[in-house]
Amino acid sequence: MLAAGGLAVGLKKMDYEKIPEVAVMTSAFFVASLVRVPVGPTSTHLLLNGLMGVMLGWMSFPAIFVALALQAVLFQFGGLTTLGINTFNMALPAVAAYYIARPLIYKGRRSAAVAGFVAGTVGIGGAAALMALSLIASGDEFSAIAKTLLVVNLPAMAVEGVITAFVVTFLLKVKPEVLGDPDG
């Protein structure tokens, strides 16, 4: 239900000129999240949902939905039965990264780097926290896995924060229009 609401808002905000940008970010998310590092009963991987959030805002919902649906169909990752909760758990932090980091991007190169780092950590940290909450809500037997999931994603948060900081500062220098309107 929540994922469907996010999809509706994202599709409503998407215009024809943004479709190529959404497609590129969808494919970046698709590829980055395929590379998994197994750790005990869980795994960690990059998502780039913070970067996606900074660039797309609410359009992150349909982009993440499409990438996760393709992963489920083509590689049996995630699954179709959990598509809604996985979309919500990864897209909501992307939208949060948009609102948290976006105001800092156009305040200078250093602020853009900080905004990128914050977006990357919020994206992956928020997704890990929402996934942990989803596991805990599924039953007490998943509490240990939920705690492990949070700890395992701490290094991924730092790595994704650094990657996103570099990408945001690079885009600000060479093609700032892909980061959107500085006033909007």
Chain segment 123-155, per-residue pLDDT in tens: 999 999 999 999 999 988 899 889 988 999 999
pLDDT confidence bin for 174, thresholds 50/70/90: very high
Nearest-5° Cα angle at 117, 25 to 6: 45
pLDDT confidence bin for 183, thresholds 50/70/90: low
pTM: 0.93
Mean pLDDT computed over 76-105 = 95
Residue 40 has pLDDT above 90, yes or no: no
Does any domain span residue 141? yes
Pairwise CA distance, residues 102 & 135, whole Å: 30
Does any domain span residue 184? no
Does any domain span residue 43? yes
pLDDT of residue 124: 96
In whole numbers, what is the pLDDT of the chain averaged over residues?
93
pLDDT confidence bin for 66, thresholds 50/70/90: very high
Q: Which residues contact 60 (CB under 8 A, 6 or more apart)?
A: 10, 25, 49, 52, 53, 91, 94, 95, 98
Pairwise CA distance, residues 153 & 140, whole Å: 21
> How many separate domains does the chain show?
1
pLDDT of residue 184: 58
Pairwise CA distance, residues 164 & 59, whole Å: 18
Q: Indicate if the alpha-carbon torsion angle 162, 75, 72, 86 is positive or negative.
A: negative
Residue 76 has pLDDT above 80, yes or no: yes
Does any domain span residue 183? no
CA separation, residue 31 to residues 19, 26, 42, 118, 177 (Å): 18, 9, 19, 22, 24
- Containing structural domain, residue 18: 2-100+108-178
CA separation, residue 61 to residues 11, 32, 48, 84 (Å): 8, 17, 13, 10
Length of the chain: 184
**CATH no. for residue 27?**
1.10.1760.20
Does any domain span residue 18? yes
Q: Is 58:25 a contact under the CB 8 Å cutoff? A: no
